[in-house]
Amino acid sequence: MNLIIALIITTLFYLIAAKSIKKYAEFYYIGTYAVLVIVVLYHFRGWAADVPTWFDSYIMSIFTRGIFSTTTFMVVMFLGVVTKPNSVSRRLFSIRGEMSIMGCIFALAHNIAFGLTHFKNLIFNPSIMPTPVFIASLISLVLIAMMIPLGITSFKTVRKKMNGKSWKNLQRMAYPFFILIYVHIMVLYSMMWKDKIVDIVVYSVIFGSYIILRLRKYAITRAKKRKAQALKSI
């Protein structure tokens, strides 16, 4: 349920704040970094013991467990499969780069809060790690390695300095990145699949829908190109 709640909140937040984010992107980045610091301190200083259980379960867990970053990436990726833009998709698409950057920062908060312990074990004591955690940690390292260039090249100043074709080719890495997020989550959920069956279904439906829609858009784009080429040859 946290995913659905977070996805609704995420979408509404970006819709409402779209114009403001476009105009004052730097301030939103600073705010996102502030959230990162709070999340890391909250986790490592054990502040969860001092707050109501509902606050930890339904508010902070959205950030500490990377749910908000995941839903931000969901919004970004689903924008890429829109074939008939409307006022909502155009509004969100205008800040797609900014959302990507904020999503990367939120993801770092999750990786610092939970990843540091696992990464340390991965390097120095992998034998104590359950197999799913070991695999998920390896996937996390791959995701971070992919996320850093994707996030950096989402900044307009960086994008302007890059060759257009090179930028597009690098950004295509977002597709395997997005799918790897799903794989990472499913590997972790495999340890407690009976308790997480609803979450597994929800994640699978969302990511499965994305793959179907992405293939659909690819087919539509290919058909348009073939039609254009056929018209030119007449």
- Residue-wise pLDDT for 118-135, tens only, equals 888 888 888 899 999 999
90: left (phi over 0), alpha (psi -120 to 50) or beta: alpha
Report yes or no: 97 and 156 within 8 Å, Cβ to Cβ. Answer: yes
Instruction: Say what percent of the chain tops pLDDT 90.
Output: 60
Give pLDDT, residue 45. 86
Of the candidates 95, 109, 172, 168, the one whose C-alpha atom is nearest the C-alpha of residue 144 is 109
* Residue spans per domain, the chain: 2-233
For residue 113, give both structure tokens.
Answer: 């809060």
Cα distances from 234 to residues 3, 98, 224, in angstroms, run 51, 43, 16
Classify the C-alpha dihedral 85-87-92-95 as positive or negative.
positive
Q: How far is CA 100 from the centre of its chain?
A: 8
Specify the pTM: 0.89
Mean pLDDT of the chain: 90
- To 5 degrees, how large is the angle CA 145–CA 128–CA 109? 35
Q: What is the DSSP string of 207-234?
A: HHHHHHHHHHHHHHHHHHHHHHHHHHH-
Whole-angstrom Cα distance, residue 74 to residue 67?
Answer: 10
Report yes or no: 105 and 150 within 8 Å, Cβ to Cβ. Answer: no
Report yes or no: 80 and 214 within 8 Å, Cβ to Cβ. Answer: yes
For 190-227, how does the pLDDT look when each residue is reduced to its tens digit (9 = 90+)?
998 888 899 999 999 999 999 999 999 989 988 888 88
Identify the band that residue 150 occupies on the pLDDT scale cut at 50, 70 and 90.
very high
Report yes or no: 189 and 196 within 8 Å, Cβ to Cβ. Answer: yes
Which letter, b or e, does each residue of 159-196 get, where b requires 16 or more Cβ atoms within 10 Å of its Cβ?
eeeeeeeeeeeebeebeebbebbbbbbbbbbeeeeeeb
Enter the DSSP assignment of 113: I
For residue 182, give both structure tokens.
Answer: 């799903």
For 17-61, how does the pLDDT look when each residue is reduced to its tens digit (9 = 90+)?
999 999 999 999 999 999 999 988 988 888 888 888 888 887 888
For 158-169, how does the pLDDT look when each residue is reduced to its tens digit (9 = 90+)?
988 888 888 989
